[in-house]
A and B are shown apart, each in its own frame.
Chain A
């Protein structure tokens, strides 16, 4: 990875750069397909491929741990949950007559409100030319270790309290999902 350090500010060079282009274009195409597909099952499968392609981009940037978590949690957990619910509520005969609401004007206005500051920042902001230290992703106590070990080191040393709060958050979400999804006794039909 000495080539990446030759050009200041370059994140990916050469073949890795072209792979990023391929993955990014495919991920964007899959995202468009998620939004325009009529059938929710098709949307879910397009979303799954989009997640996998974004995970490929993560791994391309040597963030292997986050890429693996993306595949395990999103593709393995969330998408299975989505597919379960789709199959639970899917009605065969009832087809959506209209896929989209009549809100295109509001949606495009929102998009413009986001687009203008984004373009302004993209054209004016020059991010500082820091020397890239690729070993920072895998150094633990001055020795070369794995990316997972380095992330765990930062997570448990500097962000222990947010980590514990996240576990409480997951517990609250689980209890809330059970309560919301529970069939109440008097309403059983």
Chain B
């Protein structure tokens, strides 16, 4: 089985789409955060594949930065989750609608 860059692009796109669908359709705030992590992971997959394809280490360095951003995003998101739960006793994103016009 010969794998080219196109296979990686398709897998990465599918992973990203699954994450996007999760962000848009899930009601639980924690699952929405997990879907964001899935999307970041799909981007990393692309970066590593192109790093290999172009024989350039910059992609690997960049994906380390993406992992750093993901860690910070998870920390802030989970702090927001705890804050939301303390205020509303729920994790449903549809209940956090007090700023709705």
Contact = CB atoms under 8 A, between A and B. Distances in A.
Contact of B31 (A13, A35, A151): A35
Nearest to B10: A122
B70 A78 contact: yes
A58 B59 CA distance: 12
Interface string B13-29: 11111111110111110
What's the interface size class on B, roughly?
35 or more
Interface in B78-97: 78-83, 85-86, 91-94
A76 to B, nearest CB: 11
Given A70-B44, A111-B17, A114-B13, 15 more contacts: A10-B3, A11-B49, A12-B1, A20-B1, A24-B7, A35-B21, A40-B31, A57-B45, A65-B64, A86-B30, A111-B20, A136-B57, A154-B60, A158-B61, A181-B79
Interface in B26-59: 26-28, 30-31, 33-35, 37-38, 41, 44-45, 48-49, 51-58
Contacts of B73: 173
Nearest to A34: B34
A40 B53 contact: no
Interface of A: 7, 9-14, 16-18, 20-21, 24, 27-28, 31-32, 34-35, 37, 40, 43-44, 47, 50-51, 54, 57-58, 61-63, 65-66, 69-70, 73-74, 77-78, 81-82, 85-86, 88-89, 96, 98-101, 103-104, 106-107, 110-111, 114-115, 118, 122, 127, 130, 132-134, 136-137, 150-151, 154-155, 158-159, 162, 166, 169-170, 172-174, 176-178, 180-181, 183
Nearest to B59: A63
A73 B67 contact: yes
B31 to A, nearest CB: 5
A151 B83 contact: no
A10 to B, nearest CB: 5
B6 interface: yes
A159 B65 CA distance: 10
A53 B87 CA distance: 37
B60 A63 contact: yes
A145 to B, nearest CB: 12
A177 B78 contact: yes
Contact of A81 (B16, B24, B44, B75): B75
